């Protein structure tokens, strides 16, 4: 028998996350960037009050994943979410189903390659016919590498 395999301890978690329900009133049929907050945790200052819609990548981070969910309490609205990188490149575009109360759509970008200074924003849209409140119960940026 050979020597036992020894595994290195995992690196400590790095990232940003909210874990309480944030809400935002959205105008009908208008994409709107979501204002984030300091969050429940923010290990490396991804969020800044100077740019409240952005999560900005610090030095030393090469890969991340964004995940979370968005919902609206409406049986008539379509809910959409877009994740933007650096203000333009859409990383994910998600549609919610019609005619379902409390529709929930997941946000999961998969693993993305990033560089220092890259930033991500979440844009939301709803089509209920009037202004409506959209809820974000969770949003997490996880450093992969």
Sign (positive or negative) of CA dihedral 20, 25, 28, 30? negative
Q: Which of 57-61, 63-67, 108-112, 127-131 has the lowest mean pLDDT?
A: 127-131
Q: What is the pLDDT of residues 54-102, one digit of tens each?
A: 999 999 999 999 998 888 877 667 888 889 999 997 877 777 655 556 5
Do strands 63-72 and 41-42 pair parallel, antiparallel, or not at all (unpaired)? unpaired
Q: Is 127 exposed, middle or buried (0-12, 13-18, 19+ CB in 10 A)?
A: middle
Provide CB contacts within 8 A for 121, sequence distance 6+: 33, 34, 53, 54, 55, 83, 84, 87
Domains and CATH numbers, the chain: 30-143 (2.60.120.40)
- Taking the model in full, what pTM does it have? 0.86
């Amino acid at each position: 028998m050979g020597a036992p395999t020894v595994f290195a301890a995992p690196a400590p978690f790095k990232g940003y996350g909210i874990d309480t329900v944030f809400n935002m009133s959205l105008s009908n049929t208008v994409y709107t960037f979501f204002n984030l907050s300091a969050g429940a945790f923010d290990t490396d200052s991804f969020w800044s009050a100077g740019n409240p819609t952005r999560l900005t990548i610090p030095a030393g981070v090469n890969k991340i994943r964004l995940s979370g969910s968005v919902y609206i309490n409406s049986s008539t609205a379509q809910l959409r979410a877009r994740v933007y990188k650096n203000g333009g490149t859409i990383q994910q575009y998600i549609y919610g189903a019609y005619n379902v109360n409390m529709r929930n759509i997941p946000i999961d970008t998969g693993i993305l390659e990033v560089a220092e200074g890259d930033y991500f924003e979440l844009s939301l849209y709803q089509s209920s016919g009037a202004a409506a409140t959209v809820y974000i119960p969770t949003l997490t940026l996880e450093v992969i590498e």
